[in-house]
Chain A
Amino acid sequence: MSIHKRIVDDFVANDVSFITTVPCKQLAGVIDEVEARDEIFHIPANKEDEGMGLCAGAFMGGKRAAIIMQNTAIGVTINTLATLTQFYRMPLPILISYRGELREPVSCQVEMAVHTKALLAQLNIPTYHFHWQKDVEEFDNILKYTFMCNKPVAILTDANFWGGYGDQ
């Protein structure tokens, strides 16, 4: 089974039926899989804070929602995470492409990577880091944990997890 299908299967098994995405090339496969699934309403967002607003509305409308985005967007969404998702106590799985980590080819990506975990820690957002493909086995538990505690929860997925970028 592909890693993309495994992730989306876990979303579906946990009744996540509304997913917003802002693309990253590491996320292309999982976004394709989200788009392909009838069980999920996929709504691409232009910016990640907008996506979190969409998720907040969908959650209040009775659907479990999730966002898929790049770690650079932590810089975009801090206010939304604090004053919307956390303040109103809403669950939100945040599947994050963790750029700028091991096997990253683009140096600029490292500049946000070095802040990513610190920012998430400062926000008291439970954070998990998938580095090996087998780490995906924890994903189902993380989704259950997210909807148990009604918090945003971050899942950082680095280049090694996605299989790298080939020749570098």
Chain B
Amino acid sequence: MIRSEILREIAPILRPHLVICNIGLPSQEMHLIDDQPTNFYMLGTMGLSSSIGLGLALAQPKQVISIDGDGSVLTNLGTLPTIANNVADNFILLIIDNGSYGSTGDQPTYAGKKTKLEKVAEACGCENVVVCQDVDTGKVLQAALDSKKMTVIVVKCDSGNIKVPVITMDPVVIRHRFMEAVKA
């Protein structure tokens, strides 16, 4: 499976929760598949999906899922020790690990070579790290939500993209709509 197929499959699980969508195609795909006020679309700032999600989870009680990518986590590796040392049990970091920089033409990442992000997360002190195959994403994500424990999920999948339109919604509208959903 490729990322868009995974997102399509887990959209019903994501829908009731606050979701931080990573820059580029992941945001565009989520916007196309299941646009919700509870989705925060990153239009810029590669690497910060996990940081935004952690800050949000620490600031309020609703469950937060950050959809991240292997390339983006590699950009902001310092996020993993911060997550490990500031436990928010309403936070799930969902890393779609397709071993490539999908939004820029599928150049290989180091996570697609020798680097194992799940081991990095464990070494950083993250206590609940789950690795799964693409087809099991929904089951693993639901189990993590039900556990009410901060969890890092690394989903191994194929690289590849579908054609999706860019998001034309104004960023202040995205942010305002999202904040209203957080408060609701």
Stretch in A2-10, A58-66, A124-132 with 4+ CB within 8 Å of B: A58-66
Asked if B178 and A60 sit within 8 Å, CB to CB, the answer is yes
State the main secondary structure of chain B at its contact with A. Answer: helix
Asked if A53 and B45 sit within 8 Å, CB to CB, the answer is yes
Contact of B52 among A18, A43, A44, A56 (CB under 8 A): A56
Asked if B182 and A62 sit within 8 Å, CB to CB, the answer is yes
Asked if A50 and B182 sit within 8 Å, CB to CB, the answer is no
CA distance A60 to B52 in the complex (A): 9
Asked if A49 and B47 sit within 8 Å, CB to CB, the answer is yes
Q: Does A79 contact B (CB under 8 A)?
A: yes
Contact of B175 among A45, A49, A89 (CB under 8 A): A89
A101 to chain B minimum Cβ distance, whole angstroms, is 28
Count contacts between A and B, CB distance < 8 Å: 116
Q: Does B43 contact A (CB under 8 A)?
A: yes
B contact residues around A89 at 8 Å (CB): 171-172, 175
Asked if B48 and A18 sit within 8 Å, CB to CB, the answer is no
| With known contacts A45-B78, A83-B44, A54–B55 Cβ distance under 8 A | yes
Chain B: CB-nearest residue to A63: B59
Interface size on A, residues (CB 8 A): 32
| With known contacts A43-B82, A80-B45, A80-B48, A56–B171 Cβ distance under 8 A | no
Chain B: CB-nearest residue to A150: B172
Asked if B55 and A45 sit within 8 Å, CB to CB, the answer is no
B contact residues around A147 at 8 Å (CB): none
B36 to chain A minimum Cβ distance, whole angstroms, is 15
Q: Does B56 contact A (CB under 8 A)?
A: yes
- Give chain B's interface residues, CB within 8 Å of chain A: 20, 40, 42-45, 47-48, 50-60, 76, 78-79, 81-82, 86, 171-172, 174-175, 178-179, 182-183
